[in-house]
Amino acid sequence: MQKEEKQKPRYGTVNFEKRKHPRFDVDLPVEYGPGELFIQQGRALNMSEGGLLLYLPEQMEVGRHLSLKLFLPFGSKLETIEILVEVAWVDIHLEKDWGDYRTGVRFADISPDGLNKIKNFLRNLLG
């Protein structure tokens, strides 16, 4: 017979969220495309200091780089930020007429000024 080992209860905080930065729900227009051409339109539905959840009209390949123009409202003013993003994941698109593709992107190249604008925008969302 094997001796039963008594397990000690484990205490502590469990963190199921593996993101570096908290996500905020938004609804912002974006334009994107290859190189420096912004030829398509989509929506950003959540954002953090490290990336965005986009709804795009076309499916993207994981690892693809896109030039993205993000439009942020600051009071009555609209700021634009140009960012190079990398597709981190895409949702499985089960039906042909399902609508836009959910696409997670991370910031691959963003200016310090652009990152500061995003941080200020997110701070304003907190109130």
Each residue's pLDDT, cut to its tens digit, for the chain (127 residues) gives 555 555 555 444 444 445 577 889 999 999 999 877 788 999 999 999 999 999 999 989 999 999 999 999 988 899 999 999 999 999 866 555 556 899 999 999 999 999 999 999 999 888 7
What is residue 4's predicted lDDT score, i.e. its pLDDT?
53
User: CB pairs under 8 A, 24+ apart, for 30-39?
Assistant: 30/54, 30/68, 30/69, 30/70, 30/71, 31/68, 31/69, 32/56, 32/66, 32/67, 32/68, 32/69, 32/85, 33/66, 33/67, 34/66, 34/67, 35/67, 36/67, 37/67, 38/67, 38/68, 38/69
Structural contact between residues 77 and 124, judged by C-beta atoms closer than 8 angstroms: no
Model pLDDT, residue 53: 95
User: Could you tell me the two tokens for 32?
Assistant: 């994107």
CATH entry, 24-120, from 2.70.98.30, 3.20.20.10, 3.40.50.300, 2.40.10.220 = 2.40.10.220
Amino acid at 5: E
pLDDT value of position 16? 42
Q: What is the model's pLDDT at position 7?
A: 54
* Residue 12 CA to its chain's centroid (Å): 29
Q: Which residue has the tokens 């499985």?
A: 92
